[in-house]
Amino acid sequence: MRAVQVFAICAMATMGTTAGAQEIDWKKVDEALGRTAAVSGDVHRYGFPRTDLQVTLDGVTIRPALALGGWAAFKPMHGGAMVMGDLVLLEAEINPVMAKLIENGLEVTAIHNHVLRSTPLPFYMHVGGHGDPVKLATALRTALAESKTPLTPPAAAATPPAIDLDTAQLDQIIGVKGQANGGVYQFAVPRRDPVTENGMQLTPPGPTGVATAIGFQPTGGGKAAITGDFVLAGDEVNPVIKALRENGIEVTAVHSHMLTEQPRLIFMHFWANDDAVKLAKGLRAALDKTASAKS
């Protein structure tokens, strides 16, 4: 979701290429996807928010930036680029999108829920590939065309939605600086140790989907709906489950996003709607059970 996060991810597919990473024409990649990337280091990340959907959960209408923000990140690798991403789909869209991904040489690395009880219930398809970045981008757009995912970027809001929360206090509790995005206050908390895929270090960790992603959507009166996913080693899973549940935060999914990453990672999704400061303290208690980087 990643929302937020929602911060997912990739395995390598085989797609031949002759272009060197330094020769990537990112303008052509932008044109193939119909939008401009957000660039962090050498990673070009493209958003595909499901602005067409109105998803409600426990009486909260979920903003796309909280849990409906599909994305794809491209990183130069081995004479081309690797792509990793997370597509937000309705149940009826899963198989048509999957068929086009496979037909055009991309890999599906996971399909699952991130939240529970919502209407409608979105699913999340994690994808990966390696090869010519323009071909990868074209394949991705062809697959997305089998869904109702908007293929033109959303118009920027004239006035960004207010974040009616004490964000300075949230920053202090979580331990990293958050940022406002589409009415959601988002955090990305990297792990202490590097994560690699096919010998390539996944940096920056946030844009490549290997940082713990946390989103706060204000719901009035100092409360917020929170969701996202923790990025965990296997032995951290149950301590984090216990810490979240002890603090009134529901665990909604536990699963993998990738296939061959090192070290092996487990992703844990969560949900709550309560006092934002109380929830931040609960999230911090869970982060303290992980090998997260210190700010």
Whether pTM > 0.75 for this model: the answer is yes
Q: What per-residue string of b and e applies to 142-169 under the rule 16 or more CB within 10 Å gives b?
A: bbbebbebbeeeeeeeeeeeebbbebee
Q: Would the pLDDT of 74 be above 70? A: yes
Mean predicted confidence (pLDDT) in 172-194: 95
76-134 residue pLDDT tens: 987 899 999 999 999 999 999 999 999 999 999 999 999 999 999 999 999 999 999 99
252: which 2 tokens? 């909604």
What is the residue-wise DSSP string for the chain? -BTTBB--------------GGG--HHHHHHHHTSPPEEETTEEEEEEE-TT---EETTEE--HHHH-EEEEEEEEETTEEEEEEEEEE-GGGHHHHHHHHHHTT-EEEEEE-SSSS-BS--EEEEEEEEE-HHHHHHHHHHHHTTTT--SSPPPPPSSPPP--S-HHHHHHHHSS--EEETTEEEEEEEBSS--EETTEE--STTTTT-EEEEEEEEEETTEEEEEEEEEE-GGGHHHHHHHHHHTT-EEEEEE-S-SSEES--EEEEEEEEEEHHHHHHHHHHHHTTS-BPP-
Dmax (CA) of the chain: 56
Residue 37 and residue 44 in contact, taking contact as beta carbons nearer than 8 Å: yes
- pLDDT confidence band for 295 (50 / 70 / 90): low
Instruction: Give the Cβ contact number of residue 16 at 10 Å.
Output: 11
16-64 residue pLDDT tens: 333 444 589 999 999 999 999 999 999 999 999 999 999 999 999 999 9
pLDDT at 10: 37
For the ranges 126-135, 179-188, 194-203, the lowest mean pLDDT is seen at 194-203
Tell me the Cα Rg of the chain: 18
Q: Would the pLDDT of 188 be above 70? A: yes
In whole angstroms, what is the distance from residue 200 CA to residue 181 CA? 29
225-242 residue pLDDT tens: 999 999 999 999 999 999
pLDDT at 110: 97
Between 195 and 186, residue with greater pLDDT:
186
239-275 residue pLDDT tens: 999 999 999 999 999 999 999 999 999 999 999 999 9
45-55 residue pLDDT tens: 999 999 999 99
pLDDT at 3: 41
